[in-house]
Amino acid sequence: MSNTWRAMFQPESVVIVGASASPGRPGHEIIRNLQANEYGGRIHLVNPKGGEILGLPVTADIESLPDNIDNAVIIVSASATTDMVRRCAAKGIGTFVLAAGGYSEVDEQGEQLQQDLEQTIKELGVRAIGPNTSGHISTPHKFTSSFFPLGWIRPGNISYIAQTGNFATHTQRYITTGEHYGVARVIGLGNKIDIEESEVLEYLADDDETKAVFLYLESFKQPQRFMQVARKASARKPIFLLKGGTSQEGSKAAIAHTAALASDSRIVEAALRQSGVTQLTEYSQLFHVAKAISFMPLPRGNRVSFLCPSGAMLVVLTDLCRQKWDLVVPELEEVNRQRLQDIGPTWLRMRNPVDIWGPAMVHGIEKAYRDAIEAVMDDPNIDAVVVVMVLIDEFGTPPLHFLVDMAHKYPDKPLYVSFTGIKERMEEAKAFLEPRGVPTYPYIEQPFEVLSILNQARQAMERSQLER
């Protein structure tokens, strides 16, 4: 690991230039975040007023700091940032997080400020994230430079590279409070005057803490390098990208957001496909797909079995599997089809996909689902299983331990769960299953969409591995 990445993701010391005693201010919330995550390194604070903030002493000026602090988070105005960088570099600080906005994404004056800052970074030979960034996260080291009120951040194996500040802010807050998977690294690139997506992806490809990488980008700073890095990275772990600014209107919005210059979407799409990157098409997929791959393995193929309490669901989902998601709904081997038949009513021919309503009425919900899941999981023609359950008080909500048992019994095949019925019971089921490693989805189509995307990722990895 290079000194840059060690100082950025495993800093033993950090200085916050622009620390604030006022709750709600960025220079205050970053301190609260570090404390909430029990960061064990040394925290230095700089504010001309001196004193103490949240139990930590405050240094009145940069020149009074000790030498060679690993990382500086500079939270001052754009006009003052360059001077602060110079003064910190004189104290031996080599890596920076530059929070201020007001640069090339704003106007010509901001463009000049950004050029001056970029030139200063190059002259000093230091490394920087930003400007116009909300920071980064490294849960293995219990560290964050985010100034958004995050609180505790759940550790995990998913990493994000984002050309937007929201991943280290309100999006991370949603993941922590609304989902049950966690993150390893999150980095908001901002305006990319120095550190850019190719370097970070190269680092994450070798990062043992990262199982999969998700990117949101509006532009590529070094397109050819990115494609080369992505080709190598995708041979080792799945890489997903949501590209913003692909329409004319979106391109204009991207320029206003991060001064990004969007590329021709058709050229980008072809290049990414050749590089082993799986493209996402919806913002929510950055979470739905991440949750699935955090808890479960990649499916070994595109052959799916699903259990539904409704004939209409079976018909519609089968159509969508074949027409939209490139998923196959195969016949089961006869021995496993017969296992389904043994739990079904005599008047219903059991097969894949599985009409589970009849067996549930005969044997009860838990036994019917358990036996059916085992039958399809045991079948060599099946790569993944989706379970749709009815959760209403009148039928009795079954204990859901059996779904966790099934996931553990068949660790090589993904098992996803969706629900219908009472919304409150669905939320309770999610809160039970996901901390135990079983991903759930509130809408019936979502697990199939996720499987489709993960199947594309598996194929992309296989192509990249063959090309090595």
The strands making up 304-308's β-sheet, listed across from edge to edge, are 354-355, 304-308, 384-391, 415-421, 440-441
| pLDDT value of position 252 | 52
Q: Which of 293, 322, 347 is the last residue of a domain?
A: 293
**Residue 446 maps to a domain:** yes
Q: How many domains does the chain have?
A: 2
Range with lowest mean pLDDT among 87-91, 179-183, 300-304, 346-350? 346-350
Q: Give the mean model confidence (pLDDT) for residues 49-69.
A: 97
Q: Judge if 33 and 66 occupy the same domain.
A: yes
Domain extent at residue 412: 297-461
Q: How many CB atoms lie within 10 A of CB 21?
A: 16
| pLDDT value of position 396 | 67
Q: Judge if 273 and 373 occupy the same domain.
A: no
pLDDT at position 425 over 70: yes
Q: Judge if 7 and 33 occupy the same domain.
A: yes
| pLDDT value of position 107 | 87
**Residue 466 maps to a domain:** no
Q: Judge if 265 and 219 occupy the same domain.
A: yes
How high is the mean pLDDT of the chain? 94
pLDDT at position 259 over 50: no
Phi, psi torsion values for 326, nearest 5 degrees: 55, 40
Q: Give the mean model confidence (pLDDT) for residues 347-358.
A: 95
Phi, psi torsion values for 458, nearest 5 degrees: -60, -45
| pLDDT value of position 263 | 58
Q: Judge if 370 and 259 occupy the same domain.
A: no
* pLDDT tens digits, one per residue of 149-171: 999 999 999 999 999 888 889 99
Q: Judge if 267 and 318 occupy the same domain.
A: no
Q: Which helix (H) or strand (E) covers residue 362, if one does? A: helix 357-363
**What burial letters (b/e) apply to 253-275, b meaning 16+ CB within 10 Å?**
ebbebbbbebbeeeebeebbeeb
Confidence bin at 258 (pLDDT 50/70/90): very low
| pLDDT value of position 266 | 80
Q: Judge if 314 and 441 occupy the same domain.
A: yes
Output the DSSP codes for 79-99: HHHHHHHHHHHHTT--EEEE-
Q: Judge if 271 and 347 occupy the same domain.
A: no
| pLDDT value of position 399 | 85
| pLDDT value of position 166 | 84
C-alpha 102/C-alpha 116 separation (Å) is 13
Q: Judge if 283 and 161 occupy the same domain.
A: yes
Q: Which of 240, 262, 293 is the last residue of a domain?
A: 293
pLDDT at position 20 over 60: yes
**Residue 268 maps to a domain:** yes
| pLDDT value of position 409 | 98
Q: Judge if 327 and 223 occupy the same domain.
A: no
Global confidence as pTM = 0.94
Confidence bin at 248 (pLDDT 50/70/90): low
Q: What percent of the chain has pLDDT over 70?
A: 96
**CATH number of the domain residue 336 falls in:** 3.40.50.261
Q: Judge if 316 and 432 occupy the same domain.
A: yes
For residue 77, what are its two tokens?
Answer: 């105005």
Q: Judge if 320 and 286 occupy the same domain.
A: no
**Residue 467 maps to a domain:** no
* pLDDT tens digits, one per residue of 373-399: 999 999 999 999 999 999 998 876 678
**Residue 468 maps to a domain:** no
Q: Which of 232, 261, 293 is the last residue of a domain?
A: 293
β-pairing, 354-355 with 212-217? Answer: unpaired
pLDDT at position 251 over 80: no
Q: Give the mean model confidence (pLDDT) for residues 287-314.
A: 97
Peptide bond into 131 cis (omega under 30): yes
* pLDDT tens digits, one per residue of 428-452: 999 999 999 999 999 999 999 999 9
C-alpha 375/C-alpha 333 separation (Å) is 10
| pLDDT value of position 250 | 46
